[in-house]
Amino acid sequence: MGRKNKLAHFSENLTFGNYFHYTFEELTKNGVPLKGKWNSDFFKNDNPIVLELGCGKGEYTVGLARSRKQTNHIGVDLKGARIWRGLKTSQEENLTNVAFIRSYIELIENFFAPEEVSEIWITFPDPQPQNAKAKKRLTSPQFLQRYRSFLKKDGIVHLKTDSDLLYEYTLEVINAQQLPLYYHSNDLYANNDELEVKSIRTFYEQKWLNEGLSIKYIRFGLYND
């Protein structure tokens, strides 16, 4: 995407009523007005809230919103030009159960209050292959602790990845913290299990499948009591 298109998308993002972006100063000084109020003040309902972290173009955010009309969906990513696609699609399809936040995921706990989120999807994140960057993996103990600040006690976390390293690493973290593991597969499409996670394929996921790569999936909880 050329710089001109990116700038145009950044500008158009500001016109969408379901787009949220705050500077670091705004976050630290004033906080997020919708924190603890996403249901009452934005979605105007009591439906469960589902996050997609590192949402890219929002393919899962929008895809789940289409099939789950009684659930609210929020995609989070730093790349505004990518988020634009999800914003545009949600507007074109008049999806009222979709929002997007442009932010570093490291700041995610600033946006949600305790027990405000029911489900988290982490779809094809950067596996951060260098050991020195393990803390930046979105399933590291550091990130899981951030999620606990707003995920419900019975909330679910989904990880979908093409990375063997991230898949094995996440299973190790789950085991070390004795977290509930509900499902996992190192070759999701090789089995006949009927799973919602199979119903949406991102552009790159399909590309990797066409190249013969296997897709891994883990579904787990964050509380061991």
49: containing domain: 3-220
pLDDT tens, 88-129? 999 999 999 999 999 999 999 999 999 999 999 999 999 999
Q: What is the pLDDT of residue 8?
A: 78
DSSP at 214? -
Strand partners, 162: none
Q: Is residue 30 part of a domain?
A: yes
With CA atoms as reference, report the closest residue to 74 among 40, 106, 39, 46.
Answer: 39
Confidence (pTM): 0.93
- How many structural domains comprise the chain? 1
Q: Is residue 225 part of a domain?
A: no
Q: Is residue 210 part of a domain?
A: yes
126 is catalytic: yes
Q: Is residue 213 part of a domain?
A: yes
pLDDT tens, 158-208? 999 999 999 999 999 999 999 999 999 999 999 888 999 999 988 888 888
Q: Which of 41, 77, 126, 225 is catalytic?
A: 126
- Give the dihedral of Cα atoms 40, 77, 70, 197; nearest 10 deg: -150
- The vertex-195 CA angle with 85 and 158, nearest 5°, equals 60
CATH code for the domain in which residue 32 is found: 3.40.50.150
With CA atoms as reference, report the closest residue to 49 among 8, 108, 4, 94.
Answer: 108
